[in-house]
Amino acid sequence: MSHGRGVTSADVQAPLLVFPDPAPALLARTLDLAGHSWKAVGNASFATQDEPSGGWGGAVVAADEDPEGAFGICRALRKRDVALQPVLLLVSGTHLDELELREDLFDDFCLTPFHPQELEARLRHLLWSTGHGTHPEILEYAELSLNVETYQASVAGQPLDLTYMEYELLKFFVTHANKVCSREQLLSRVWGYEYYGGARTVDVHVRRLRAKLGENHAALIHTVRSVGYRFGNAY
């Protein structure tokens, strides 16, 4: 049985069940870096045999290599006296058709290969929504508020309907307020080094963010001519 060593969450969150054993390298690394405690199991019997005394905190089931085994363990987890929640299913695009009529076996799914930030966002949201998450971290700037656990944002108390990358960009702006960031820096830090889009992507997302922030708050994102953007109140 493989073990993952959490960094910050082990003391407050029950271990996650991970399938298969050994866990896929990217999944293991993502969970470790995010601070999750977890254990990998190879089948439903081990899921019961290796269950911690306080129960599992949820499950992440990768269905790429063994779809039937993955659906089998999901089914076993759901048929318990108290169904295990949440269950996050990782599935490749070629297996999407197999999700039909199996929606009751998982709470959410994520396409593979996944971006670590997206997987962590989905997992945190699921854990929080089912009562397994930690106390939410709130980022605030003026009337803007971002819940890091649930990936929800609001301005002046009104919820913002943001896409995943719009939220990530806004969070980066808030945590780097009053600093000038070039488009290249934003691409690298928000989209990741593996993103092959151009700087135009940043401009498009900034335009959408401004529109969603509304007239009274759009000016928080300042354009710095020939450089990039600065977030914050006017000097």
pLDDT digits (tens, 9 = 90+) for 125-137: 888 777 765 555 7
Average pLDDT over every residue of 112-140: 80
- Domain-terminating residue out of 89, 104, 129: 129
152-202 pLDDT, tens per residue? 899 988 899 998 889 999 999 999 999 999 998 898 888 875 555 677 889
On whether both 121 and 155 belong to a single domain, the answer is no
On whether both 106 and 147 belong to a single domain, the answer is no
On whether both 114 and 150 belong to a single domain, the answer is no
On whether both 102 and 211 belong to a single domain, the answer is no
| Domain CATH code at residue 77 | 3.40.50.2300
Average pLDDT in the chain? 86
pTM: 0.56
On whether both 108 and 142 belong to a single domain, the answer is no
Number of H helices, E strands in the chain: 7, 13
Query: 97, 105, 154, 149: which is closest to 123 by C-alpha?
Result: 149
Average pLDDT over every residue of 63-89: 93
Residues facing 19 on adjacent strands: 61
On whether both 46 and 118 belong to a single domain, the answer is yes
What is residue 2's predicted lDDT score, i.e. its pLDDT?
44
Whether 72 has a pLDDT exceeding 90, the answer reads: yes
Q: Tell me which residue range forms the domain holding 96.
A: 3-129
- Interior CA angle at 78 toward 73 and 80, to 5°? 100
On whether both 60 and 89 belong to a single domain, the answer is yes
On whether both 62 and 38 belong to a single domain, the answer is yes
- Domains held by the chain: number: 2
- Domain-terminating residue out of 129, 155, 179: 129
Query: 97, 31, 94: which is closest to 65 by C-alpha?
Result: 94
Confidence grade of residue 1 (pLDDT, cut at 50, 70, 90)? very low
What is residue 156's predicted lDDT score, i.e. its pLDDT?
85
CA distances from 56 to 6, 8, 46, 190 (A): 14, 17, 12, 32
45-61 pLDDT, tens per residue? 999 999 998 899 999 99
- Domain-terminating residue out of 97, 129, 161: 129
